[in-house]
Structure 1
C-alpha cells in the first residue's frame, strides 16, 4: 500500500488542462491500486503563504530555542513537510507560466525545502534527506512546445527547475508528461492531449 500526494497548482477550475489530466491519472490509479491512499492538496485554490522574516528566523533557530511566536511562524511549514515526507509517490499538475512554474507552487516549495528537514549541509556539500526510492510524476500544460531539439527549448525553466529542486531534496526519479502546443491550433492541441493521455495510461500501468 502506498500513500500518494496529489498536488494541483492551477488557479483555474474546470478549464484547467493540468487539473483534468492529473485528475484522470489519479482516478485511474485509484481504480487499479485499490489499497493505496491519496492525500490531495489544491495549491491553485488554497495557496500557502510566502516565506517571511519570522519564518526565516524560526527555520534557523533550534526548536528548543524558539519563542512561541517563532513556533507559530514555522507551524504550517512543519505540517506541510510532515505531509510531504509521509507520501511514497507524488503526482503534480503544473501549468507553465512565463516559461516556469506558478508562484503558488514556488511558495509551497519554499515552505518544504528546509535545512534539517528535507536537505542537509554536510562537509561534502548538500544532501537530500527525502527517501530517494520515492517517485515523482509531473503533468504539465504548455501553450507551446519546449522539448529538446525545438527552437524554444532554451526557454523551458519549468522542467529543469523542478528536476533540480526535487533532486536537491533527494528525489531523483522524476517523470514528466507534457501536454504542449495547446495554443497551436485544434489539431495540434488534440494530438498533444491524446499523447498525454496515452502517457498517463502507461504511467498507471508501469509507474
Structure 2
C-alpha cells in the first residue's frame, strides 16, 4: 500500500484556515479517487517538533546513538527519539501534501523546524567529504504544496516574492523528490478577488492535481 503524508501548517482551526481548508478538500478528492492509499496526517503546529540542538548530533550531523544517546538527559532523548520518528515517517511516504499560508514571503517557522528534523544524514541525505547528495530517489515520490496568500503575485516576478514555494521545490528536489506541484490560493484578502473566488479557483484545479499526484504503478483499472 502506498502512503500519502498530509502536513497542514497553521495554528488556526481548519474552518478558519484557507490553506488547511483547501488541503482537506484535496485529501478528500484524492482518497475518493484512489482509496488504495493510506493517509497519515501530521499537524505540525499541534505536534511536538523538536528544535535542533548540537547535543543531538555527532560528527558532521549524524544523530546520536548508542553510548552517546544513553549519555543524554531524558528530555534530550525524547527530542532525539522524536526526530528519528519524524524522519522515518517522512521517508516511508510516497506522496506528500503540505498546506501552509504565506508568511513574510515564506511559510510559518514550524515548517522549517520540521524540515530540519526530517533531512537527516544517512537517511534523507548522505554527507561525505567528497559530496552531499539526496537519498530519496530510491522510488517515485511526489509532493504538492498548497499555499494561501492575501495578495496576488504575477508570474513574471513571483519568484522574487514567493520564497516559500521556491525553497520547498529546491530542497526537496535536492533530497530526491523530483515531482513537485503547487496550488496557490491567492488574493484571499483582496477586494478584487476575495476568499470565495480564490477558493472556487483552487477547487477547479484540484481534480487535475489529484491525477498528477497519483503514482500510476499503484492504480490498476
In the TM superposition, what is the alpha-carbon distance from 1:142 to its structure 2 partner?
0.8
Q: Residues 154-192 of structure 1, C-alpha deviation per residue, up to 9 Å, x if partnerless?
A: 122111111121122111211000001111116344332
Consecutive unaligned residues in structure 2, runs of 5 or more: 214-221
Q: Corresponding residue for 2:164?
A: 158
Q: Secondary structure at the match of 1:149?
A: helix
Give RMSD over aligned pairs.
2.2
1:198 corresponds to 2:204: yes
Q: Secondary structure at the match of 1:178?
A: strand
**Larger displacement relative to structure 2 (125-134 or 57-66):** 57-66
Q: Residues 90-149 of structure 1, C-alpha deviation per residue, up to 9 Å, x if partnerless?
A: 011011111101111111011111111111124663211113520001100011123421
Query: What is the TM-score of this pair, normalised by structure 1?
Result: 0.89
Q: Distance in 2 between matches of 1:60 and 1:122?
A: 11
Q: Distance in 2 between matches of 1:141 and 1:186?
A: 16
2:62 corresponds to which of 60, 63, 66? 60
Q: Corresponding residue for 1:41?
A: 42
Q: Distance in 1 between matches of 2:205 and 2:196?
A: 14
CA gap of 1:190–1:44, structure 2 versus 1, over 3 A, is same
Q: Corresponding residue for 2:86?
A: 80
1:95 corresponds to which of 101, 113, 125? 101
Q: Distance in 2 between matches of 1:155 and 1:204?
A: 27
In the TM superposition, what is the alpha-carbon distance from 1:53 to its structure 2 partner?
2.7
Q: Corresponding residue for 1:25?
A: 26
Q: Secondary structure at the match of 2:180?
A: strand
Consecutive unaligned residues in structure 1, runs of 5 or more: none
**Larger displacement relative to structure 2 (51-60 or 168-177):** 51-60
Kept after mapping to 1: 8 A contact 2:187/2:193? no
In the TM superposition, what is the alpha-carbon distance from 1:56 to its structure 2 partner?
3.3
Q: Distance in 1 between matches of 2:54 and 2:40?
A: 30
Q: Secondary structure at the match of 1:30?
A: helix
Q: Corresponding residue for 2:156?
A: 149
In the TM superposition, what is the alpha-carbon distance from 1:51 to its structure 2 partner?
0.9
Q: Corresponding residue for 1:121?
A: 127
In the TM superposition, what is the alpha-carbon distance from 1:62 to its structure 2 partner?
6.0
Kept after mapping to 2: 8 A contact 1:100/1:158? yes
**Larger displacement relative to structure 2 (139-148 or 111-120):** 139-148
Q: Secondary structure at the match of 2:105?
A: coil
Q: Corresponding residue for 2:216?
A: none
Aligned residues: 206
Q: Corresponding residue for 2:6?
A: 6
Kept after mapping to 2: 8 A contact 1:47/1:104? no
